[in-house]
Amino acid sequence: MSNRESSCLKCLRMMYAQRLIPFSVLFTASFVQDGYSMPPVLSYSIRDSVLIKVFNLVFGLAVEGALYALGL
């Protein structure tokens, strides 16, 4: 993860440390967020940017659901 970790991930990390959220939420949020990689794609093609976001959403929900079902 880069030095520019989002404030959302910092908040989720603190919530996980206090056992307010399960690990699956923290894990999924950390790899689904695009951060600074999306603006270059957005300038190239809005359609591709939307497709990437939709893929991230579907993939993230699938992974989180699986981890949550396993009790993580």
Token pair recorded at residue 30: 């950390």
- Radius of gyration for the chain, computed over Cα atoms and rounded to the nearest angstrom: 14
Write down the pLDDT at residue 5.
59
Host H or E run for residue 56:
helix 46-69
Domain boundaries defined on the chain: 7-69
pLDDT tens string 1-41: 445 556 777 888 899 899 998 888 888 888 787 767 777 87
Output 31 or 49, whichever has higher pLDDT. 49
